[in-house]
Every structure is written in C-alpha cells, then in structure tokens.
Amino acid sequence: MAPEHRGSTRMLLSLAAAVALAVTGSTAVSASAQPKSAGLREVMFVGNNWDGTADVIKSTGDLARIGRINVIPDKDQRLTEIYLNPIKLAFFLGIRLGPGEGHDQFVDDMYSTPDGSAIVVSRPSFADVVSIDVATGKVNWRFPVSGFRADHMAVSPDGKRVAVSASTSNTVHVLDIVTGKQLGSFSAGDKPHENVFTDGGKYLWNMSIGEVNTALDDPSMDWTKGDRHITVVDATTYRQVKVIDMRERLDAFGRKDLSDAVRPVAFTPDESKLYFQVSFFNGFLEYDVAKDKITRAKTLPKNPETSEDRTTWVNDSRHHGLSMSPDGKKLCVAGTMDDYATVVDRESLQEGPLVPTSKPYWATVSGDGTACVVSESGADRVTAIDFATGEKTASVSVGDHPQRVRIGHVAADWTGPSGS
C-alpha cells in the first residue's frame, strides 16, 4: 500500500464498499532462490507506484538501472471500463484520494516468471494482476481480483505460484504464474496485506492489517479497524490450518498499547522466529513460532521532526519495511515516517547508524546478500545499506514513488522491451 493523506475523502474507499510446530526448523526460500535457467541475469524490479512502471536495476553493487517496463500498457482500456461502471469508479477515485495521496496506484508488487520472460504485477487501482512480456511489453494475461483493489503478493519457492491479496474482499488468490489461472483462494482477516510462503512452499501465511484509510487512529478507536489476524493455510488445498491473533499474544507480553495489525515481516532462515512490524509503532517484535508467543520487542529512535499526529502517518504504519540478512544475524528496518533506515543486530537488538532516507517504504536484500536495499518513496530512489557496517553503499534514481523491490530475472542481454 502507498501512503495516504487523511480527511473525509479517505473514507470513500471504506464506504464504497498445528502449523506452528510444522514450520519450526524448516528453511525459508526467497524469490532469489528460484531455479535459474541458462542465459538469465539476476536483477531487482522496483515498482514505481504512481508512474505505472517497473525499473529493472542491478541486484548488487551500484544498483545501476538496466531498463524500464511500462506495466500499464492497457491503461486506456482499463480506464474506459472503470469510467463506465459507477461502482468501479467510486473505488478507483477512493484509491486515488486516499491511499494514492491524489495519485492512481498502478503497481504494488511484482515478480518475474522462472524463465525470466515475463513480470507479474499487482495493480491496485485496476484491481488486477497482469503478466507483462518483458521482451515486447505486451500483456500476456490478466486476472481481475475479487473486490476492487489488488495489493501485496508472494511467489512460491519454486517460482510457479503467485499469491495476491484482494484487500477489499478479504480474499487471497493463488495463481499459476505462467498462465494466470487461479489454483485456489482463501478468506483472510480484514484487509489482507503481506503474504509469505513457508516450509518450502507447504504453507502460506497472510497478515491482515484492517482498516487504515480512516482518521480514527486514536487508540480508543482501535476497535473500528476490523478483524486483524494472521491466517495460515495449506498451500496445496488452501484450507486454513491456523489463525494467530496477535492481540492475545501482545496482551500476554504486556504490550496492550500496541496495535495487532501485523505489517511487513521477516522469518529467520530456519523459520523458528518471526519478526514483524505493527501499526503506529517505531520498532518491531519477535515471535517464537513453536512456543506461539512474543518473546522480545525493539523500540527504535523517533525522529524529533516527525509529527506525533498519528493521522499523518502513512497507512497507520510509522515504520514499514523489514528484511533479514541471509545468515539471520542482521535485520534491516525501514523507519518510514522517521526518514531513516537502520541495520539491527538480531541477537542484541542493537541498532546501527540511522541512515537518512526519505520516507523509506520497503526493505529487501541484495542479490549477493551483503546489503539491505530500501526504496525511498519520498526521494524516488533505491538505496543499499551494508549489513556488516550499517553504512550506505549505493543509491540510484528510479521512477515516481517506488514501493516494492523484488529480486527477479531477465534474459542476460535484456535492456528493455522492444520499441521502448
């Protein structure tokens, strides 16, 4: 999701409409571990939400840009459909005036197919997922999600399935990444958000964040935010196997003051621990999967220049973006509203230097695993921070309002779609 301003216009979007033990000791497999075919080059895709483009940059080193893909080549057709349907138009405008801060949201998340021939993109304002041929720039297939908005995705460890949150219908769809055919779906909590495959693709976790587009952000009004929980399903049958209500775990941990809206997460390599951010909190928590309990919390520094008016924070999330080094020793945190990113030692929970960044919106890991990579949505840049030193090592200009950054692959000699 993108940041949003508050006010009466933001209400339009709302109004218009046993695994715990099983995963312990298993190994998480990231998108970068997908099978690589001969002749492919590892890259990073950067989703420029307001542009409707995806920049393709080097996955290591100086992060230099390789090419750019237009992910809304069918824009005119989609807009015609929307403007001819009063209900779709109401939601479309609600997204623009709320989460989009006056802009349309054209790309939220993206992954490449295993053969590197296409990029699969979720497009919030168009309420769909599309596959774009990276050689021609044309649409291979389109899947309209249920409801009126598409959000975060996840790709299975083998690269064959992609899960997408349909945020206004409280549904997660799982698609064949090559054909776009729906393989299954399941119900989640209110406003499903991040998705994560675990145990080699055996399970799929979804984190619902509830309503974040209202100005009812005072703690006394938290009950208006909806039903927020983690839903864990069998990734073959899509049947629910566990529900984790963090409200109960937070209360037991002594943090009744914190929201239970789980935001970005990061598992340890063995998936025994889950680190997660929650709404309105400048920090993160540690959850022991086998013990089914929160074990530690880390509060990070506040920027004295950041307003304490919670209604001004992006989508209720003071901090939004979390990743972990491949060895599991370091965490990287995007301090969104506090305009910094920092590397945190996982054992001691001591943060490193606060690296100035402009509204960092996401955190991932470089292709070689040595750096955290964050999107600076306020500066239209992507920046790398060394896990070992905590210092900035590279930064590159990208398109308008970068959000999600994902590892993927293209042909070794690719420089952009033909005719672009």
For residue range 331-389, list pLDDT tens digits in order: 999 999 999 999 999 999 999 999 999 999 999 999 999 999 999 999 999 999 999 99
Q: What is the pLDDT of residue 207?
A: 97
Second CATH level (architecture) for the domain 8-411: 7 Propeller (2.130)
Helix and strand numbers, DSSP H then E, in the chain: 5, 28
Q: What is the pLDDT of residue 30?
A: 40
102 vs 191, higher pLDDT? 191
- How far are the Cα atoms of 154, 263, 349, 352, 371 from residue 287, in angstroms, in the given order? 21, 14, 14, 22, 24
| Residue carrying the six token digits 């929201």 | 259
Give pLDDT tens digits for 36-90: 556 999 999 999 999 999 999 999 999 999 999 999 999 999 999 999 999 999 9
Closest CA to 324 of 338, 340, 341, 345: 345
Q: Is the pLDDT of residue 25 over 80?
A: no
State the Cα–Cα distance between residues 338 and 326, nearest whole angstrom. 26
State the Cα–Cα distance between residues 151 and 188, nearest whole angstrom. 13
Q: What is the pLDDT of residue 385?
A: 98
Q: What is the pLDDT of residue 177?
A: 98
Beta strands in 252-352 (DSSP E): 262-267, 273-278, 283-288, 293-299, 322-324, 330-335, 340-345
Q: What is the pLDDT of residue 191?
A: 95
Q: What is the pLDDT of residue 18?
A: 37
Which of 18-27, 76-85, 92-101 is most confident?
76-85
State the Cα–Cα distance between residues 194 and 159, nearest whole angstrom. 17
Q: Is the pLDDT of residue 242 over 80?
A: yes
Q: β-strands 381-386, 371-376: how paired? A: antiparallel
Give residues with Cβ within 8 angstroms of 251, minimum separation 6: none
State the Cα–Cα distance between residues 352 and 231, nearest whole angstrom. 33
Give pLDDT tens digits for 247-294: 999 999 999 999 999 999 999 999 999 999 999 999 999 999 999 999
Average per-residue pLDDT for the chain: 91
State the Cα–Cα distance between residues 47 and 147, nearest whole angstrom. 22
Nearest 10 degrees: Cα torsion 170, 132, 154, 369: -150
Is residue 237 within a helix (H) or strand (E), and if so which, with residue range? none
Q: What is the mean pLDDT of residues 300-321?
A: 93
Closest CA to 277 of 334, 225, 211, 210: 334
Q: What is the pLDDT of residue 420?
A: 59
Q: What is the pLDDT of residue 233?
A: 98
Indicate the pLDDT class of residue 419, thresholds 50, 70 and 90: low
State the Cα–Cα distance between residues 414 and 58, nearest whole angstrom. 12
Indicate the pLDDT class of residue 23, thresholds 50, 70 and 90: very low
Phi, psi of 361, deg, nearest 5: -115, -15
Q: What is the mean pLDDT of residues 94-111?
A: 88
Q: What is the mean pLDDT of residues 379-402?
A: 98
Q: What is the mean pLDDT of residues 6-29?
A: 36
State the Cα–Cα distance between residues 17 and 261, nearest whole angstrom. 20
Q: Is the pLDDT of residue 92 over 60?
A: yes
Is residue 125 within a helix (H) or strand (E), and if so which, with residue range? none
State the Cα–Cα distance between residues 47 and 71, nearest whole angstrom. 9
Give pLDDT tens digits for 116-171: 999 999 999 999 999 999 999 999 999 999 999 999 999 999 999 999 999 999 99
Looking from the CA of 327 toward its CB, the CA atoms found within 13 Å total: 11
